[in-house]
Structure 1
């Protein structure tokens, strides 16, 4: 099922800020294409986790009810340009592809490191996921 929410796009010196007023949610992209891609990912993630946690899903506002000037004032920004756009995503399909599917990886580490990690009862998958996520987010 498609979920559609209005998002405020604010052009700034270094890219685009994207705000979902109904969800108290924000993201950013250096280009308009990246900002839209990040908005879709952000929207899918928020709605997916609200559903997972059994939280109520806020009803989307109409595009005409969004006051761009009020949102930018609340954020303390003076955008170069601003507009409201609808962002849509099929949350279940997106989550299945991006959030829920696990992939098996085989890796090689030194024996001494393996032994030390086993002695400390370290979860290899969790450590790898955390390290990869930190690396990807730093990019």
Structure 2
């Protein structure tokens, strides 16, 4: 899953600012004091909702086409969401892994003071095409 683009409706709040709803994700709501904060909050709320659906093994809905959404009250805004970036930001705790390498490789790496965790993380980032 790369970047996703979900339509959101930004509604003017009576007390100022905006409240946001997502037609494709009915449980997803948030608010912000101004357009910039509302957009940031929309990205965070969308991330929380999609991550929760993924963890619960629920369907991730296909984003609706913007021209198919009728907006009676508010402004239609497309919210960009990057699951990989969201996971990096919110799910970066270390996980212990056990692995095996040839003894000669271990001895040479230890002599050189190689940080095995760092090397594995760098290799996985490269393998996953997840360069920062």
Q: Which residue of 2 aligns with 1:2?
A: 3
User: Which of 29, 32, 51 lines up with 2:35 in the alignment?
Assistant: 32
> Equivalent residues in 2 for 1:1-139 (5 A)?
1-13=2-14, 14-24=16-26, 25-69=28-72, 72=73, 82-98=74-90, 100-102=91-93
Q: d(CA) in 2 for partners of 1:32 and 1:50?
A: 27
Deviation of the 1:92 alpha carbon = 2.2
How many equivalent pairs are there?
91
Structure 2 gap ranges (5+): 95-132
Q: d(CA) in 1 for partners of 2:71 and 2:55?
A: 31
Instruction: Choose between structure 1 and 2: higher helix proportion.
Output: 1
Poorly superposed stretches of 4+, deviation over 4 Å? none
Q: Is the 1:48–1:92 contact (alpha carbons within 8 Å) kept by the matching residues of 2?
A: no
Structure 1 gap ranges (5+): 73-81, 104-139
Q: d(CA) in 2 for partners of 1:36 and 1:58?
A: 20
TM-score of the superposed pair, with normalisation by structure 2: 0.64
Q: d(CA) in 1 for partners of 2:46 and 2:87?
A: 11
Larger Rg: 2
Deviation of the 1:88 alpha carbon = 0.9
